[in-house]
A and B are shown apart, each in its own frame.
Chain A
Amino acid sequence: MTDRANWTRKLLIICVGLAATFPLAAEHVPPTPDGLAEGRAVSRLFVKSDNWEPMIEVAGHFGGEDTDFGYRAVRLGSYYRVHQNVKMGAFYRVQWGARHDDDWLLLDNGDWEWRETTARAEHVVIADVTPRFLLDFIPGENWVAAVKGRYLFNTFNMHQTLLARPQLTYFWLHNRRPILNVTAAYGAYMALNFSDQLVYRRAPYLDVVYHAGDLVKLNAGLARETVHWSSSQDLKDSGAPDYSVDQSSWQITLGLIFRVDP
């Protein structure tokens, strides 16, 4: 056997060995179908009243493994402008179809699969604070930097999450009025009392808002979201080796926004 053939044989043995021990290859690990695209539809209504801005949101996600709206949510609440540069918000959200680490189940036949959650309602309390700053020293002048901070408490599983999302928006104005907002942002969702990884969900994204009028805005967004999955309770109970995997997908958002300013 030549040296070259020897090296090839050794490499093959190493690869087979790795495959046998690598968690991704195991059936008890959630699949990671990278490259999936998920569509998101959202509609929001804001009613501005001095410093208050109550809102309602209806959202649905579809695609990925499903073609129906697997996730649906309704959010209610209000922003309040506590300072020229700071808005705070408090919201309540009811959602169906959310998926958590513990939804990765061991079936009686020994197979693993995700729990069907499309009919499961969860109630989430949300607090939001967003400081903003006009960066008029940057060429173009109409730049706004912001950091959205959002705390979420899910009463279904007591999960606490903190979102930190720095973002930079350019406002394209015509006759001193905005025509288009273009935002680049990076959102990091931090698990405060679950997951084996602090940032369990993250996404860089680009978002565009077209001001069709004072009342109506059209929204489109593109994000590359990565979700981290930690061992589920079923997995731990089964005695199988722990896993820790990331799943990435493209998120395409289309939205219709109404803002009433009486």
Chain B
Amino acid sequence: MRVDRALAGYIVLLLLPVAVSAVEGRVAYLSGEVTVTSGNTSAVAEIGMPVSEGDTVETGANATAIIELGRDAEIKLRANTITRIRELEERIDVELESGGLFAMVKRAVQKAFSVNTQSVVAGVRGTQFFVAFGREIEDTPDVWVCVNEGSVDVEVPQEGDRTVVREGEGINVLAGRQLTGAQPYDWTQDLNWNMDPQEGEVADDTDLDGAYEDLLDQDYD
């Protein structure tokens, strides 16, 4: 399945503020079967392999890959995910075609925004969020966006709708078209946000079925 233009749209918006000096990405970590397709050529990925604009990265079952996108951002692909790197030069534009990914903007180069109290300074140092396809209940699949750090502006250009998802919140874009209210979801607590293999397991096997009500689990008698 291909992501609709709406999803690609808000990923672009989210990463726009990042000034990228490097124009090439690279495979920073992988486990399981990961392939990189460049043009008509597919190759089994290796750590350190460059990833350029137009390349597609695909993870197999039980596979995980972390792709550095320049110095300021990286993405972690869950198993059974297909992602195309559409642009790295002026902006970072990642197209999620299937599966799900975690994105982390390492640092913001725009003016920092902070809230100060007498003893605490809270600043926006980066953004970490998760995007994945959910169930296909209508003609196109749902799209989930969950935020771990910072805030994310989610927009559905086709509908002209947008909203802000804040830290700890998630949102389900029904069929990739209809925004619902951003709110905390219990199931997102199972997401593995770690993107540093040195700090532990990076694979995420959260079952997105947990994002949906289990109608077979309801017995109130």
| A-B complex: 5 closest residue pairs judged by Cβ atoms | A175-B180, A132-B216, A257-B220, A144-B215, A171-B215
| Binary per-residue interface labels of chain B (175-189) against chain A in the complex, 1 for a CB within 8 Å, 0 otherwise | 000001100001000
Residue in contact with A209 in the complex, picked from B137, B215, B220, CB distance below 8 Å: B220
A227 → chain B, closest Cβ, in Å? 19
Q: Verify if A44 is at the interface (C-beta below 8 Å from B).
A: yes
Q: 5 A–B contact pairs at CB < 8 A?
A: A142-B215, A144-B215, A176-B174, A176-B213, A178-B218
Q: Is there an interface contact between A219 and B220, defined as CB atoms closer than 8 Å?
A: yes
Contact with B along A231-262 (1 / 0, CB 8 A): 00000000000000000000000000101010
Contact-residue size bin, chain A (C-beta under 8 Å from the other chain): 20 to 34
Q: How far is the CA of A238 from the CA of B181 in the complex (A)?
A: 71
Closest to A141 in B: B137
Q: Are A79 and B219 in contact (CB under 8 A)?
A: yes
Interface secondary structure of A, over-half rule? strand
Category for how many chain B residues contact A = 10 to 19
Q: How many A-B residue pairs have CB under 8 A?
A: 45
How distant is the Cα of A32 from the Cα of B186 in the complex, in angstroms? 53
B216, A178: Cβ atoms closer than 8 Å: no
Check if B139 is an interface residue, CB within 8 A of chain A: no
Provide the residues of chain B in CB contact with A133, threshold 8 Å: 216
User: In the assembled complex, how far is the CB of residue B159 from the closest CB belonging to chain A, in whole angstroms?
Assistant: 15
Mark B residues whose CB is within 8 Å of A: 137, 142, 172, 174, 180-181, 186, 212-213, 215-221
The answer to whether B220 touches A176 (Cβ under 8 A) is no
A176–B137 Cα distance when bound, in Å, is 9
**Extra 14 A-B pairs, beta carbons < 8 Å, given A173-B213, A181-B218:** A44-B220, A81-B217, A84-B216, A87-B219, A130-B219, A169-B218, A171-B213, A175-B180, A176-B142, A176-B213, A178-B213, A219-B220, A257-B220, A261-B186
- Residues of A within 8 Å of B142, CB to CB, are 176
CB distance from B8 to the nearest CB of A (A): 23
List A contacts of B172 (CB < 8 A).
175-176
Q: Are A134 and B216 in contact (CB under 8 A)?
A: yes
Is the beta-carbon distance between B220 and A46 smaller than 8 angstroms? yes
- The interface bits of chain A over 81-112 (1 if a CB of B lies within 8 angstroms of the residue's CB, else 0) are 10011010000000000000000000000000
A177 in the interface (beta carbon within 8 A): yes
* Max chain A Cβ within 10 angstroms of own Cβ: one of B137, B142, B219: B219
Please measure, in the bound complex, the distance between the C-alpha atom of A166 and the C-alpha atom of B69, giving whole angstroms.
57
A176–B218 Cα gap in the complex (Å)?
15
Task: Report A150-178 CB contacts with B as 1/0, cut-off 8 Å.
Answer: 00000000000000000001010101111
Q: How far is the CA of A181 from the CA of B213 in the complex (A)?
A: 13
